[in-house]
Structure 1
Amino acid sequence: MKKVSVITVNYNQPQVTETLLKSIAEHNKYPALQIIVVDNGSLVNPVPDWHEKYPGHSFLRLETNRGFAGGNNEGIKLADGDYIFFVNNDTEFTEGLVESLVTLLDQHPQIGMISPKIRYFDQPDIIQYAGFTPMEYHTARNKCIGELEPDKGQYDYSTGKTGFIHGAAMMVRRSAMEKAGLMFESFFLYYEEMDWCERIRNLGFEIWLDPRALIYHKESVSVGKKSALKEYFMNRNRILFIRRNAPLLSKYTFYAYFAAVVFPRNLLRYMFEGRYDLAKQLVRAVKWNLSHNKDSTELGYPVHKIK
């Protein structure tokens, strides 16, 4: 039996993380499971309390917020599983989740990464993710399959290759991870798992969806208000993803598209709406890409302001 290491990252949400741990205890029947929780520099350190509550789990406290990639990368250092299952702390397990994913990885050695079907926790019959279409590099756009559709089993026979895994729940084969290296931490938020997908796929592995496996995600169905943090990293990382992964001709097509369409359109909209804070972050995101190489680890954003 292959060992599975479950890694989740906590940031100022100890109760949410504890609910996940309770969910795993209630629904998981897979015996060879290691659970690792990384605290990403929360304002109040929950780890001492967790050591007492959950003596069988592994906990790691980071003193600063290292982002999604950084927190998970540190968790990998404690993992000894053959397969590493990265789950957001705001997810909840269902019965058979781990077993289903492991079975496909065991049966198909070409799979490097695999995600289950994801439904919204607050609307449990609504799909969040049933795969991704391939990336359109000229515009840096792709589509999340099944998003916001009622789940009537329409994707339950879609097991197989997909464009990308979903960062909220992704199981990775250790051998693929060791060949590709860890997630690129400079992304910090957004696009890091897609960049990782591309690197693993370029090594000859496949990216799969298992719609028979299900996890619930507490992300809201409604789109939240835009923030300076999101505006900066979504734009910075969208450009950075293309710089790191797109073919040469597609890169220049995207640059032209972004410069001629996306940047002026969004900038004018933010100015018209009086969202000068978002306009500033859009400009900052573009400037970062103009002044830093694609392998730079400089975030260009004051991390101490991320609460």
Structure 2
Amino acid sequence: MISVLIPVYNNWDLTRACLEALAASTAGEETEVLVVDNASTDATPQACPALGRSLFGERFRYLPQPVNRNFAGANNIAAAEARGDWLFLLNNDTLPRPGWAAPLLRAFDEDPQLGAAGPLLLYPPDSRGLHRVQHLGVVLSLRHRVSHLYEYLPEHHPVVTRPRRLQIITGAAMLIPRQRYLALGGLDEGFVNGFEDVEFCARLCREGLHQRVIPEARIIHLAGQSEGRRDKEKDNSSRCFTLCGHLLQLDEMRQWRADGYQPEVSPWMTLEPGLTPASRVRLLQQARKGPAALAEAAQSEPLWLEGQLMLARHQEAQRQNSDAMYTLTMAAHFYSTPDAILPLLDFVGRVAADEKRGMELLREELRDYVVTPELREAALRELHAELLAAGEPELARQVEALQQDAPNFFSRQYRLLEAALRTGSAMPHGE
């Protein structure tokens, strides 16, 4: 039996929707549901027990707490009470799809070294009706930076369905044998709603186990709905990597390479999953066959920034402004540096100038890239040393090229950023 553990704190509407979706997706399956209420002050204490019993009968338990035990404490309380052989940690801002359980259980049968497994988490459908990736696994980059792998890619992109081994998966939806969870001591309650899943996965890695996301199991994740979700992020991150940094390896670039991408250092000192020269040539050749071919090429590879910008320019020329806005917004999700943000800001400023709030948010993102020549040179030196230490000499050489090209960077690319922040005009149209 699977014991589904759901910590909650207020947000009753989310919890209600989650329980209803869970009941519909587990009809006839052997599951129990334990909701741990972290001292909610909204309708949850009154409404949750009745709804849970109506949906799950005796398979439902409501565990109210006198104080907020946070994510780790709530899950540990539920794990101790659970009767199932399997624990499924589940956020209340999720909507399970039918059939999520069987692929996760099957993964453990097929892989004896599997520590924990999770479903593919998807955002709700966007304005075009597409589900996009919220969680396909967590990867580790330089400076202990963790991020969701390929966030916002369409759910049917080839890299989304490729089997892969991971160090870290999110605790928002994680299946693990109950005895393994208990043997490891559960989640570390020293964290405050963040990074406890990273540290827990590191302990699984220490035991010689790995994690997987199983794309056949799919759950909608609204993401970031918990109150105060990011309040302790810096403290949580520092504590996590003090405890377990030595147990984890840099794996972001390894995952990119396995998927056919070529890591590259952007002029803005970020690491990006670039396309190989052969892929770029193939896509450009296809795009030159006409507007329909351009759209097909750009949409087939969302990480091809040049193609997204070409498509957006064509859409604007055809007065397809809503399509151009969508294309540019998605490009800024995939490649969130000024190379993508500036064209979006320029478009909004010319076509939707009344969107003042949106323009200010874009300018706020650009402010993260403000730098002096002296600070940029120091940062490039540091990045160069980190890449050499990580065994990435080719990427270190790219940094050297950026150092040599600094005058051109500040006279061209950086000038556009300064103009956008100073006047709101991102760039001359068509530049």
Report the TM-score, using the length of structure 1 for normalisation: 0.72
What whole-Å deviation, never above 9, does each CA across 1:203-255 have from its counterpart, x for those lacking one? Answer: 122211111111001126xxx9xx9x56651111111111101239x9xxxxx
**Structure 1 residues 231, 160: CA separation in 2 closer, same or farther (over 3 Å shift)?**
closer
Q: How much does 1:48 deviate?
A: 4.9
Helix, strand or coil: the match of 1:6?
Answer: strand
Query: Residue 200 of structure 1 corresponds to which residue in structure 2?
Result: 204
Residues 45 and 61, structure 1, Cα contact 8 Å, conserved in 2: no
Q: 1:160-199 alignment to 2 at 5 Å?
A: 160-199=164-203
Match of 1:129 among 135, 140, 143: 135
Query: Residue 81 of structure 2 corresponds to which residue in structure 1?
Result: 78
Q: 1:144-293 alignment to 2 at 5 Å?
A: 144-219=148-223, 232-247=231-246
Q: How much does 1:178 deviate?
A: 2.5
Higher gyration radius (CA):
2
Q: Distance in 1 between matches of 2:43 and 2:246?
A: 44
Q: Distance in 2 between matches of 1:30 and 1:201?
A: 34
Query: Residue 257 of structure 1 corresponds to which residue in structure 2?
Result: none
Q: 1:23-172 alignment to 2 at 5 Å?
A: 23-29=21-27, 31-44=29-42, 46-55=44-53, 56=57, 57-123=60-126, 125-133=131-139, 135-136=140-141, 139-172=143-176
Residues 101 and 114, structure 1, Cα contact 8 Å, conserved in 2: yes
Q: Distance in 2 between matches of 1:232 and 1:46?
A: 23
**Structure 1 residues 140, 114: CA separation in 2 closer, same or farther (over 3 Å shift)?**
same
Helix, strand or coil: the match of 2:37?
Answer: strand
Helix, strand or coil: the match of 2:194?
Answer: coil
Q: Distance in 1 between matches of 2:159 and 2:87?
A: 25
Q: How much does 1:63 deviate?
A: 1.1
Query: Residue 259 of structure 1 corresponds to which residue in structure 2?
Result: none
Matched AA of 2:7: V
Matched AA of 2:159: Y
Helix, strand or coil: the match of 1:186?
Answer: coil
Runs of 4+ more than 6 Å apart:
none
**Structure 1 residues 231, 115: CA separation in 2 closer, same or farther (over 3 Å shift)?**
closer
Helix, strand or coil: the match of 2:190?
Answer: helix
Q: How much does 1:65 deviate?
A: 1.0
**Structure 1 residues 52, 230: CA separation in 2 closer, same or farther (over 3 Å shift)?**
closer
Q: How much does 1:88 deviate?
A: 0.6
**Structure 1 residues 77, 231: CA separation in 2 closer, same or farther (over 3 Å shift)?**
closer
Helix, strand or coil: the match of 1:161?
Answer: coil
Q: Distance in 2 between matches of 1:207 and 1:30?
A: 28
Residues 10 and 37, structure 1, Cα contact 8 Å, conserved in 2: yes
Greater mean deviation of Cα atoms: 85-94 or 68-77: 68-77
**Structure 1 residues 53, 152: CA separation in 2 closer, same or farther (over 3 Å shift)?**
closer
Residues 5 and 81, structure 1, Cα contact 8 Å, conserved in 2: yes
Matched AA of 1:36: L
Q: Please identify which structure carries the higher helix content.
A: 2
Residues 117 and 211, structure 1, Cα contact 8 Å, conserved in 2: yes
Q: Which has the higher contact order (CA 8 A, sep 6+)?
A: 1
Q: How much does 1:153 deviate?
A: 3.6
Q: How much does 1:128 deviate?
A: 0.8
Matched AA of 2:233: M
Residues 6 and 87, structure 1, Cα contact 8 Å, conserved in 2: yes
Give aligned-pair identity as a percent. Answer: 25
Query: Residue 253 of structure 1 corresponds to which residue in structure 2?
Result: none
**Structure 1 residues 100, 200: CA separation in 2 closer, same or farther (over 3 Å shift)?**
same
**Structure 1 residues 29, 231: CA separation in 2 closer, same or farther (over 3 Å shift)?**
closer
Q: How much does 1:22 deviate?
A: 0.7
Residues 111 and 173, structure 1, Cα contact 8 Å, conserved in 2: no
Q: How much does 1:102 deviate?
A: 1.1
**Structure 1 residues 231, 25: CA separation in 2 closer, same or farther (over 3 Å shift)?**
closer
Q: How much does 1:53 deviate?
A: 3.0
Q: Which runs of 5 or more residues in structure 2 are unaligned?
A: 250-363, 369-431
Q: Distance in 2 between matches of 1:169 and 1:230?
A: 16
**Structure 1 residues 156, 148: CA separation in 2 closer, same or farther (over 3 Å shift)?**
closer
**Structure 1 residues 30, 83: CA separation in 2 closer, same or farther (over 3 Å shift)?**
farther
Q: How much does 1:155 deviate?
A: 3.2
Q: Distance in 2 between matches of 1:115 and 1:175?
A: 17
Report the TM-score, using the length of structure 2 for normalisation: 0.52
What whole-Å deviation, never above 9, does each CA across 1:124-165 have from its counterpart, x for those lacking one? Answer: 5111111222x24x6111332120112224235422411311
